């Protein structure tokens, strides 16, 4: 179906471009170009780039072409009479022949050229850090020397950052420590693979370690369920069990025997649950009950079971739910915005400056020339004795 749609819209766009070139009236050409731009916007939608499709319609068809139409109408340039200048006689056929040869060559190259189609659709991996280390108030995390999280408080998580697939070294330091000189709290080499969202949870008290929780971002097969990855960050317990305590007489076990520092993934139906956390070997007295945990469908959740030390040195068990969207919105506004304001800030600023300069330039160019101020001639007072006959002098006898 997508192929037939592509062929139809492609034919429309090529026909519109051809009509734009052939049409005598400039306004008709502009309208055909708008049709072509709308087809390109539709192609952007087919290519998983909805943000670009909307920007195309808003900026190109909505602003640029309107500007063109205004100028055409302003200059009265709908029809251009054949010019008095004789043209190179073979210009038109030569241009057509040459461009067609070029087109045939590039088409053959494209269709036969075996564009490398291995590994398409690889989504770039994302990494974030969760702080569940006891007795460390804040941490910084570095990936191959570049910071990915700074000043994370206890049970706080950093944002996802996108990286290229490969092998990286993760190092976690107390906040404010210099990564080059200080020794890390925990250091580990990890492999980032495409299509993963990796959450690195730093757990432990005296011997900290990193728990890798990979959330598979592929299409959720079981609709209506939430995918939960649970991490045990309670250092004093050997293992815990997680039960669904929603109804007191029908307790269902969700995860049995979750060891310390281990992540396990389960799929749970959507709904509102009361989750009970039970220590090893004792399924009567719960460590903690977390009421009203709402699970939406088709989300990927990361649950971190951790202990929080209260100011009065008592401990309370906490469940920290962290959410990752299962289907990343490739090409959506948030994706484009994340890239634009993190990696591409400098080109963004430069292009904004260019736009400003273009605006000022357009104003200067179309500004009517100010009337030339002629230099004011100042007329001197004419000597009244010049040109007046002197009466005969009475002196000088």
Partner 1 sequence: MKTPEVAVELYVLLSAILFIMGVMGVLLRRNAILVFMSVELMLNAGNLALAAFARQWANGDGLLMVFFVMTVAASEVAVGLALIVAIFRTEKAIDIDELHLLKD
Residue 365 CB neighbours (<10 A): 7
Task: Give bridge partners of residue 200 from the DSSP assignment.
Answer: 129, 212
Q: Out of 8, 14, 153, 182, point to the residue binding partner 1 (CB under 8 A).
A: 14
* Contact call for residue 390 and partner 1 (CB under 8 A): no
Q: Which is nearer to partner 1, 49 or 295 (CB)?
A: 49
Q: Which is nearer to partner 1, 96 or 253 (CB)?
A: 96
Q: Out of 8, 12, 35, 37, point to the residue binding partner 1 (CB under 8 A).
A: 37
Could you tell me the smallest distance in angstroms from the CB atom of residue 363 to partner 1?
Answer: 8
* Contact call for residue 103 and partner 1 (CB under 8 A): yes
Read off the tokens for 115.
């564009």
* Contact call for residue 161 and partner 1 (CB under 8 A): no
Q: Which is nearer to partner 1, 35 or 319 (CB)?
A: 35
Task: Give bridge partners of residue 202 from the DSSP assignment.
Answer: 131, 210
* Contact call for residue 345 and partner 1 (CB under 8 A): no
* Contact call for residue 73 and partner 1 (CB under 8 A): no
Q: Out of 8, 64, 153, 345, point to the residue binding partner 1 (CB under 8 A).
A: 64
Half-sphere exposure of 368 (CA within 13 A, CB side): 2
Q: What is the DSSP letter of 359?
A: H
Provide the mask over 348-377, with x wherever binding to partner 1 is found by CB under 8 A and - wherever it is not.
Answer: x--x--xx-xxx-xxx-xx-----------
Residue 204 near residue 135 (C-beta atoms within 8 A): no
Q: Out of 150, 205, 265, 330, point to the residue binding partner 1 (CB under 8 A).
A: 330
Distance separating the N- and C-terminal Cα atoms of the chain: 127
Question: For the stretch 161-183, what's the b/e string if a residue is b when 16 or more beta carbons lie within 10 angstroms of its beta carbon?
Answer: bbbebeebebbbbebeeeeeeee
Q: Out of 163, 205, 209, 335, point to the residue binding partner 1 (CB under 8 A).
A: 335
* Contact call for residue 49 and partner 1 (CB under 8 A): yes
Q: Which residues contact 163 (CB under 8 A, 6 or more apart)?
A: 124, 125, 126, 127, 143, 192
Q: Which is nearer to partner 1, 267 or 334 (CB)?
A: 334
In the range 218-257, which residues lie near partner 1 by CB under 8 A? Answer: 219
């Amino acid at each position: 179906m997508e192929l037939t749609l592509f062929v139809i819209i492609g034919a429309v766009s090529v026909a519109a471009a051809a009509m734009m070139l052939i049409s005598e009236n400039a306004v008709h050409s502009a309208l055909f170009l708008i049709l072509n731009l709308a087809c390109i916007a539709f192609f952007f939608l087919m290519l998983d780039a909805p943000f670009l499709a909307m920007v195309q319609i808003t900026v190109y068809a909505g602003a640029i072409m309107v500007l063109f139409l205004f100028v055409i109408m302003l200059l009265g340039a709908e029809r251009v009479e054949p010019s008095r200048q004789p043209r190179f006689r073979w210009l038109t056929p030569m241009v057509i022949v040459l461009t067609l040869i070029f087109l045939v060559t590039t088409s053959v190259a494209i269709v036969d050229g075996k564009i490398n189609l291995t590994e398409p659709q690889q989504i770039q991996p994302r990494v974030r850090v969760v702080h569940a280390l006891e007795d460390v108030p804040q941490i910084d995390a570095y990936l191959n020397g570049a910071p990915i999280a700074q000043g994370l408080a206890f049970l706080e998580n950093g944002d996802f950052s996108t990286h290229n697939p490969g092998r990286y070294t993760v190092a976690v330091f107390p906040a404010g420590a210099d990564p080059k000189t200080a020794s890390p709290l925990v250091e580990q080499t990890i492999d980032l693979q495409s299509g993963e969202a990796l959450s690195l949870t730093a757990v432990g008290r005296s011997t900290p370690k990193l728990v890798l929780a990979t959330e598979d971002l592929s299409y959720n097969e079981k609709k209506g369920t939430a995918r939960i990855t649970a991490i045990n960050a309670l250092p004093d317990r050997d293992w815990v069990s997680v039960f669904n305590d929603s109804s007191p007489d029908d307790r269902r076990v969700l995860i049995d025997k979750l060891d310390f520092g281990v992540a396990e993934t389960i799929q749970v139906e959507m709904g509102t649950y009361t989750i009970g956390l039970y220590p090893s070997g004792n399924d009567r007295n719960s460590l903690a009950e977390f009421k009203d945990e709402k699970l939406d469908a088709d989300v990927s959740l990361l649950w971190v079971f951790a202990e929080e030390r209260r100011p009065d040195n008592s401990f309370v068990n906490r469940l920290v739910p962290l959410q990752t969207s299962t289907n990343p919105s490739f090409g959506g506004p948030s994706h484009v915005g994340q890239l634009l304001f993190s990696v591409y800030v400098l080109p963004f600023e430069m292009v904004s400056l260019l736009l400003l300069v273009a605006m000022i330039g357009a104003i200067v160019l179309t500004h009517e020339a100010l009337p030339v101020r002629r230099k004011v001639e100042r007329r001197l007072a004419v000597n009244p004795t010049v040109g007046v006959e002197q009466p005969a002098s009475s002196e000088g006898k």
